[in-house]
Amino acid sequence: MRQRPFKQVDVFTGTPYAGNPLAVVLDGGDLSTEDMQRFTDWTNLSECTFLLPPTDEGRAGGADYRVRIFCPGRELPFAGHPTLGSCHAWLEAGGQPRAAHVVQECGVGLVRIRRDGTRLAFAAPPLRRSGPLDEADVALIARGLGLARNDVLAHAWCENGPPWRAVMLRSAEQVLSVRADATLLGEMEIGLVAPQAAGADTAFEVRAFFRSHQGLAEDPVTGSLNAALAQWLIGAGLAPDLYVAAQGTAMGRAGRVHIEREGSETIWVGGGSVTCIDGQVTL
């Protein structure tokens, strides 16, 4: 074991302890997959990342660093708040991008990250699966959320690493009142979205439920889900090209996810990040 630089970053917020925390080990060199998973599980956070030099292929594609992303019980090919939090930690530790955008290498390939004032934003990766859900899944999700089937106004696969099944409900109030049944939904990763009431400071309310080694859990603020939701909603004409979504309200957080479509192809997903713990970890 040795000392390694470490940061704990709160993501999708500019206010400490109001967003989604992320553990970042800035030197993941010589750690095995088992080491990384064991430490991730010990942190008891939704995700932990380990920064590494890019592979030869990644470097040739312009990657500035490589990240391995873990959640309790498994490794993820991509996740949004770990992408922004890892980039924040890398830049804060003195990382210098090779080009105008930071380029991160991860399980889904290369992900561009831009600096937008005090916020970072990543370019949403292509959806691996899209289109409507099976009707049987929609009915099961409705039951698992304690809703009637006609409360689900629209639905879609939103898989971009995590296999999100997304449903749009009637109102933000309905999203916040949901109580998920782990017995019915324990193997699914569910995203909920609904429009806010007129006059709200955000356009949508979002919640995310995912499977963990301890069963069904709720994520405070979820970049991958918001990225895929934006691709679905904007593409279907259900959301404007520029909006802000709220997430974490039901958990006492105040996450804010900034969405912007650039041109016809790129959707940027951004938010603030703030370092809450900065030091060393023995690994």
Tens digits of residue pLDDT in 145-159: 999 999 999 999 999
Q: How many CB atoms neighbour CB 113 within 10 A?
A: 25
**Which CATH class name applies to 3-124+270-282?**
alpha beta
90-143 pLDDT, tens per residue?
999 999 999 999 999 999 999 999 998 889 999 999 999 999 999 999 999 999
Average pLDDT over residues 82-87: 98
**Reduced to 3 states, what is the DSSP secondary structure of residue 59?**
helix
* Model pLDDT, residue 116: 86
**Residue 180 near residue 190 (C-beta atoms within 8 A):** yes
pLDDT digits (tens, 9 = 90+) for 213-243: 667 889 999 999 999 999 999 999 999 999 9
Instruction: Indicate the pLDDT class of residue 273, thresholds 50, 70 and 90.
Output: very high
Report the share of the chain in percent with pLDDT over 90.
92
For CA atoms 90, 50, 250, 260, the dihedral sign is: positive
pLDDT at 161: 85
* Alpha carbons 165 and 157: distance in angstroms, whole number: 5
- Within the chain, strands assigned E span 3-11, 20-25, 48-52, 65-71, 74-76, 102-106, 109-116, 119-123, 154-159, 163-168, 189-195, 204-212, 215-219, 242-247, 255-262, 266-271, 273-282
Average pLDDT, whole number, for the chain? 96
Question: What mean pLDDT is predicted for residues 17-41?
Answer: 97
Taking residues 23-37, what's their average pLDDT? 98
Full-model pTM: 0.94
d(CA 169, CA 65): 39
Q: Which fold has domain 135-264?
A: Diaminopimelate Epimerase; Chain A, domain 1 (3.10.310)
According to the model, what pLDDT value does residue 213 have?
Answer: 67
pLDDT single digits (tens) 174-217: 999 999 999 999 889 999 999 999 999 999 999 999 877 667 88
Residues of the chain with CATH 3.10.310.10: 3-124+270-282, 135-264
